Structure formats: C-alpha cells, structure tokens
Structure 1
Amino acid sequence: MHRIAESELIINPDGSIYHLNLLPEDLATTIIIVGDPDRVKMVSAYFDTIEIKKTKREFVTHTGTLRGKRITVLSTGIGTDNIDIVFNELDALVNVDFASRTVKKELTTLDIVRIGTSGSIQENVPTDSFVISEYAIGFDSLLHFYECDHVLETEFSEAFMKQTHWSPKKSEPYVVKGSQELIDKLSSEQTMLGFTGTNVGFYGPQSRKIRLNVQDEDLNEKLATFTHQDKKITNLEMETAGIYGLANLLGHRSLSMNAIIANRPLGEFSKAPKQTVDQLIQYTLEKLV
C-alpha cells in the first residue's frame, strides 16, 4: 500500500493532525462546522455532555453527546482556503491509519453540516429566514486544483458564464450539489431550498464598495437574475461550494444551513442576528438527533 510521506500528511508529536490538533478518537462521525470560533460554544451549550475541548489557531473543537448521539462541532474560520485544510484533515482522521500512513481499506463516511450566516440577493428571501443550500456555485478556484469533473454540475456553470458574460480574468465558476439525504433530513416548513453563491471575499467579490471600485458594477444584479432549470441564486457566503466539492470528492455527506441576516436588494440587516443563528443551531440539532 502507498505510504503517505511526512511532508504530505503532517502529524504532531502527540499523534494529532497538524492544523486541527485532533486525534482520530476525538472526532464524531456527525460534525457541525461553523465559521466563527465563538459560535462553537453556542452549539455545544446544548450538548448533554462535552468530552473534548481543543483549540489551535482559528480551529476550535468541542465533541460531546446530545440525547446519546455523539457530535463534534468545529470552527473553520472564513473562506474556502480554510475549508481545504479542514476537510482534508477531517477525512484523514477517519480514513488514514496514522501508524502506517496508509489509506484504510474500509472508509468512513462523515455527515458534515455547516451552520453559517449569509446574505440574500433575492427580495423574497427575507432576513431571519433559514436557507438550505441545494446547490452551491463557487467563484473561488479551490476545486480546480483537484480532479473534480465527475462531481460538477457543468450545465449550471456554463449557463452562468454565458448569461453573466463572466470575465475570463476571474476563476471559472463551479457548481456542486449538497447531499440529498441530508436535504431530506433537515428540510421542513421552516426552511427554504436555495442556490448559494460562494464568494472569494466579502467586499469587492460581493459588490460592496467602501473606497475601491469593483470590476463589474452589475455583478449582484447578474447573480440575482441568473436562472437555469428554474433555479436562481438565492444567497451569498464564503464556504459552501468548497464544502460540497470536497465532501463529494472524499465520499462524505455535507449540507449548508444558512441563517439569512441581510437582504442585499432591500438594504436590510437583521435586528437580532445572534438570535437568528441560535434558532438555526437549535433547529439543526433537533433534526440531527
């Protein structure tokens, strides 16, 4: 079997994986990921027991149980560059034998659910609503560094580039679908299905202007008016497409739960964003257990 070199899979002296600082036994097979490290304790506050608390850089991890179900909650920080680290290391923790540095014969499938904040670009997606990302379109370049064509919805991305006259100087967008099993499990009358745009930044890439002009003044309007197979882009954030792409490639199930705290076309921001996020946390935990 192929042995993974020390330079490729870095293991700390205590046997934990390099960035996350976790041991294989620290991880549950149901994982909630959040961007903000402070949000980890908002999730684990609802656990009945907490057995693991570890912190390294922006990666904070709590593992515990809720009604007998073991759950890990982990902060990723912002952006798909961090998602690349988190997903490769989560997968290694369950699917690589650290002693022999070889991939295990029997692979483990993780359920990974993002609970995050997001801004809507459609007037009919109001603040304080919950959007489940059925699809995500990535405007970053992460997935193009992997052999990924077999997990991409190329019809969507090709239609998007044509309709928006996408600049060739920007990364070619990619579209990936979330786990249908998790969509079925977490959907209800309290949620709506969405098509989420994953941006490479918060300001210019999402058409926010403070002192800098943007390359395409009409970008948000183009995103909002794009349609293919009766689906429209509903909201913008910074991780979901990378999550869906790597989960699909690695054989895990993933889903992104979005607390809508801003409505861009209406210029509105939630009056109680923390409460909205807390309600989404409670909703997601209830559905998972």
Structure 2
Amino acid sequence: MPHYALPHEIMYHTGLSPEMTEGARYALVPGDPGRVEGLAKALDDKAVFVQSHRDFTTWKARVAGETVLVMSTGMGGPCVTFAVEELARLGVVSFIRVGTTGSIQENINPGDVVINRGAVRMDGASKAYAPIEYPAMADMRITMALEEAARELKVPYRTGISVSTDSFWPGQERYDSFSGYVRRSLQGSLAEYRALGCTNFEMENATLFTLTSVMGLSAGSICGVVAKRTDSEAIVPHEVYELAEKRFQQTVKRALEMLIGHFMITL
C-alpha cells in the first residue's frame, strides 16, 4: 500500500511538500545541484526555484501545460533512494536521470549523448530493494521517447547498458586517484565491460531503475559524454562539456513534450 504525503507534510530530506510540487508527475533528476537551474530554464524560461535542502535543490517548470520538477539527487545510489522515495510520496510517477558520463566504447564520442536502457548493478543501494539477480531496466516508453527526440533533433546518440558504480575511481578502474591503487578484483573490469557491449560508466542508473521498477514507477536516463575512457581519463574541454549539456537539455525537453502529449491523447 503506497504511503503518500499528507497535504501539508514536508519531506524530511528534500524539504518538499505536496503544495510545493503542485501534483507533478514527472521529475528530472540530475545529480549535480549546480545543473538544476540551467536544466529547468531550458525546459521553461519562466521556471521557478522551489527549495534547497541538503543535496536536493528543486526547481519547477511547465512543459506542454504540465508541471515538471527538476531536482538534484546528489552523487551516487544512496542519494537517489532519498529522491525517489520522497518524490514518489509526493505523487511523481516518472523519473528521468539527466547527467554526464564517461563512454567506454570507441564509437561514442565526447559531446554525444547516451540513452541507457539498462544498467549493471555495481552499486550497493539497489541491493536493499531487490536481490542482485533482479534486472535494472529503464522504462521502454521513456527510452523510446528519448531516442525519438534525439533523432528528430539530430543529436548523436547511442542506446545501451551503463555500468553503475559507487566509486568513481577504483569502481570504474581509474588509476588517477590519490593512491593509484585498484583492487585486484576490479583490475581489467573496464575491458571486460567494454567486451560485453556496455556503453558507459556512471553512478546512479542502477539504483534509479531498480527502485522505480520495484515500486511500480518508471524511469529513463540520458547522459552527455564528457570523457572518453578509451582515449583518456581526462574530462573534455569546457566547450565540449557545454555542447553535451545543450544536447541533453534539448533532447529531454522534446521527449517530455512527447510523453505528456501522448498521455493527454490517451486519456
């Protein structure tokens, strides 16, 4: 039995209440609080600030006549659980992760976008909700809308499976950390996941996809490529980063218009 928030109840971690969210059914959930304002204004130039509490900065926009929340989750799976749990209590049913990622395939370049249809569960948080055998899968309807939007806008994209980790350095087999050490069990993992056809490393998809599936909700993900791990550990120059950001902003806005429009037609 779902436990929805009472009319004036304020969520402990996000600081949000039903009055603040105005019945929003869709939420875009970037990790970085600094990305929220720009993303909200890309959806709607009249977007408004709602609340900032802990890792969770929230803005509100209107897309196709409907309220859409843009709320940061912070980095990593544990923070995602707070966001999904509390937004679900406030009535959100569809989540789209919008962020950045590092590609691990030669044909995925900086500035491209990756639309993930699933994730390898190398996180820890999702294991509190479902056994490791349970798949971390994106919602097909949201994934297809993101793909269609990217094609329409001529945004270069790939659809694939991400590897979601709790560690940015050894978990993604990076050797540019303070110690430079990667555990023996993780050495060679990047090459293995590349050989398995995985497209990218990131830190939130597995938790988001698992939770929303378990809860009967839906989720998708679109990330801009800001590092190409087949070439270098380095983050791309600022202008390429901005290009990736512009592309995922445009794509997710068009996808939301499609999703909301389809829902209104089918009512």
Normalised by the length of structure 2, the TM-score is 0.83
CA distance in 1, matches of 2:215, 2:104: 31
Q: Which secondary structure state, in structure 1, belongs to the residue aligned with residue 47 of structure 2?
A: strand
Q: Is the 8 A contact 1:48 1:66 kept in 2?
A: no
**Partner amino acid, structure 1, of 2:40:** S
Alignment of 1:177-256 (within 5 A): 177-188=137-148, 189=151, 190=155, 191-209=157-175, 210=177, 211-216=179-184, 217-226=187-196, 232-256=197-221
1:25 matches 2:19: yes
Larger Rg over CA atoms: 1
**From 40, 44, 56, the counterpart of 1:44:** 40
Structure 1: tracts of 5 or more residues without a match: 95-108, 155-173, 227-231
**From 238, 242, 247, the counterpart of 1:274:** 242
CA distance in 2, matches of 1:137, 1:120: 14
**Partner amino acid, structure 2, of 1:20:** T
Alignment of 1:250-265 (within 5 A): 250-265=215-230
Q: Is the 8 A contact 1:120 1:262 kept in 2?
A: yes
Partner of 1:89: 86
Deviations 1:83-130 (A, max 9, x none): 111111111222xxxxxxxxxxxxxx6111111100011111111111
**Partner amino acid, structure 2, of 1:215:** R
Q: Is the 8 A contact 1:42 1:278 kept in 2?
A: no
Deviations 1:38-92 (A, max 9, x none): 1110112231433552100110001121342311100000000001111111112
**Partner amino acid, structure 2, of 1:80:** G
Q: Cα RMSD (Å) of the superposition?
A: 2.3
Structure 2: tracts of 5 or more residues without a match: 258-267
**Partner amino acid, structure 2, of 1:30:** Y
Q: CA deviation at 1:215?
A: 1.1
Q: Is the 8 A contact 1:197 1:236 kept in 2?
A: yes
Q: CA distance change for structure 1 residues 16 and 48 in 2, over 3 Å: closer, same or farther?
A: same
CA distance in 2, matches of 1:222, 1:48: 44
CA distance in 1, matches of 2:183, 2:86: 35
CA distance in 1, matches of 2:108, 2:40: 29
Partner of 1:157: none
Alignment of 1:50-199 (within 5 A): 50-94=47-91, 110-146=93-129, 148-149=130-131, 154=133, 175-188=135-148, 189=151, 190=155, 191-199=157-165
Report sequence identity in percent: 25
Q: CA deviation at 1:176?
A: 1.3
More helix by share: 2
CA distance in 1, matches of 2:236, 2:162: 19
**Partner amino acid, structure 2, of 1:252:** L
Normalised by the length of structure 1, the TM-score is 0.77
Runs of 4+ that moved beyond 6 A: none
Q: Is the 8 A contact 2:95 2:218 kept in 1?
A: yes
**Partner amino acid, structure 2, of 1:276:** A
**Partner amino acid, structure 2, of 1:175:** P
Deviations 1:190-219 (A, max 9, x none): 332110000111111111123231113212
